[in-house]
Structure 1
Amino acid sequence: MQYRLQGIVIRSMDYGEGNKIITLFTREQGKMSIVARGAKKVKSRFGSTVQLFTLGDFSFFKSGQLGTLNHAEIVEAFHKLREDLHLAANASYLAELTDRMLGDQEGQPYLFEQLKGSFHALLEGKDMQIVVHLYEMKMMMHAGYMPELEQCVICGSKGEAVSFSVGLGGILCETCRLRDPQAIALTPGALKLLRIFVQTDVRRLGQIDVKPQTKALLKQILRAYFDTHAGLRLKSRDFLDQMDRYEI
């Protein structure tokens, strides 16, 4: 079958002497993997279009598991994401997260726009950690791992939340907080931001000034929650953690 789709390159790997296999995240068909023959050659017509993060219009024939690229045109190169180490590391994490959490040919127009919007937000100088957390929440909602953030996960109380239970999957009130000794103490500011991550379209994200202590707490909560409920080991996240440790 012949396809002509707009997609974002979320993975690119060498294949044979001169070829590449790229994974596209498309609006209508979700993830699709295709071979770009000769893409590694210096004068290849596909060289720039198959680079990671590129948004393009792709024409390809697909009859089995892999398609064959016939034509590609760049819509947005997002080249600055590849030129800055911190931007590249965060964009790589978003791309790998998408690749690992979506099934093949699972159309997700909203998530497609959120990924594209996240790339724009990174380029616009929005807080990288906030952009990443917002997209992480969208992916967890899609995968069915949405945490309970509106009422106590045990008693249903909508009173003040004082902690977050990773294992139980949501907030705890003062009365129930001792039911999970490992629950993470929660501040009102952190809870407000967690709710913002659920409700906000990344394309409408403004400049948010978040205290370092709050950002550290958000990272602790979301990392622990993701590891417990999604259980994926991502190389790009390991690199982000390494950058944080050594302040690259």
Structure 2
Amino acid sequence: MLHRVQGIVLRSVDYGEGNKIITLYTRELGKVGVVARGVKKVKSRLGAVTQLFTYGDYVFYRQGKLGTLNHGEIIEPHHKLREDLYKSAYASYLVEMVDRMLGEEDRSLFLFDQLEAGLMAIEQEKDMQIVAHVFELKMLAASGYTPVLDKCASCGRTEELAAFSAAAGGAMCSRCKHLDPYAAAVTESTLKLMRLLQQVDLSRIGNVNVKPSTKSQLKHSMRLYMDAHVDVRWKARSFLDQMDKYNI
């Protein structure tokens, strides 16, 4: 069957001599795998549309599990994401989340739009860490792991929220935080920011100014939560950690 879709390239791997298999996240079909034959040749007309992060129109024929790419036209190349090491790493984390957390043909127009908006926000030099955390929260919500942020996840109190517990499922009050020795200490400002990020649309995210201490608490809390609820060893996140470690 012939399919015409709009998609974003999540992954690209070499396949045989001169070919690639690309994973697309599409509006119409969700996540699909497509073989691009001869794409590694210098004069291939499909070379540009199969590059990582590219958003385009794709036409492919599929009879079994994998499709065969027939045609493609670029809507947004996102070439700046491939030219800058940090932008590439953060963009890779976004597409890796979609690739690893969603099943085959798991379709969501909302997540598709949020992914494209997130890639655009990184390209436009919005705060990349904040963009990544917003997208983490979107992906967690889609997977059924939305953290509780407006009350204690243990007792339900809305006062004296002082910790964030991956095990409990969100914020914890000062009375309950002892129940999880691994809970991260957080300020009300950090929890307020998390509640804001949980609601924000990435297509409307602006330039934000967040204190380093708040960003540090946010990063630690999100790491704990992602690692507790999503059993994935993130390649892009590990690469970001290496760049931070060596101040690349």
Q: TM-score, normalised by structure 2?
A: 0.98
**Aligned position for 1:193:** 193
Does 2:66 match 1:66?
yes
| Number of residue equivalences | 248
Q: Which letter does structure 1 place at the counterpart of 2:45?
A: R
SS at 2:134 equivalent: helix
**Aligned position for 2:225:** 225
**Aligned position for 2:156:** 156
Does 2:126 match 1:126?
yes
Q: Which letter does structure 1 place at the counterpart of 2:108?
A: Q
Kindly state the Cα deviation for residue 205 of structure 1 after the two structures are TM-superposed. Answer: 0.7
Q: Is the 8 A contact 1:145 1:230 kept in 2?
A: no
Q: Which letter does structure 2 place at the counterpart of 1:52?
A: L
SS at 2:226 equivalent: helix
User: C-alpha separation between the residues in 2 aligned to 1:90 and 1:154?
Assistant: 33
Q: Is the 8 A contact 1:121 1:202 kept in 2?
A: yes
SS at 2:149 equivalent: coil
SS at 1:20 equivalent: strand
User: C-alpha separation between the residues in 2 aligned to 1:184 and 1:200?
Assistant: 23
SS at 1:42 equivalent: coil
Map Cα deviations across residues 78-104 of structure 1 (whole Å, 9 max, x no partner). Answer: 001100111011101111111000111
Kindly state the Cα deviation for residue 181 of structure 1 after the two structures are TM-superposed. Answer: 2.2
Query: How is 1:72-87 mapped onto 2 (pairs within 5 angstroms)?
Result: 72-87=72-87
Q: Please report the RMSD computed on the Cα atoms of aligned residues, expressed in angstroms.
A: 0.9
Q: Which letter does structure 2 place at the counterpart of 1:178?
A: H
Does 2:101 match 1:101?
yes
Kindly state the Cα deviation for residue 130 of structure 1 after the two structures are TM-superposed. Answer: 0.2
Kindly state the Cα deviation for residue 180 of structure 1 after the two structures are TM-superposed. Answer: 1.8
Kindly state the Cα deviation for residue 124 of structure 1 after the two structures are TM-superposed. Answer: 1.4
Q: Which runs of 5+ in 1 are unaligned?
A: none
Query: How is 1:17-32 mapped onto 2 (pairs within 5 angstroms)?
Result: 17-32=17-32
**Aligned position for 1:42:** 42
Q: TM-score, normalised by structure 1?
A: 0.98
**Aligned position for 1:165:** 165
SS at 2:28 equivalent: coil
Runs of 4+ in 1 over 2 A off after TM superposition: none
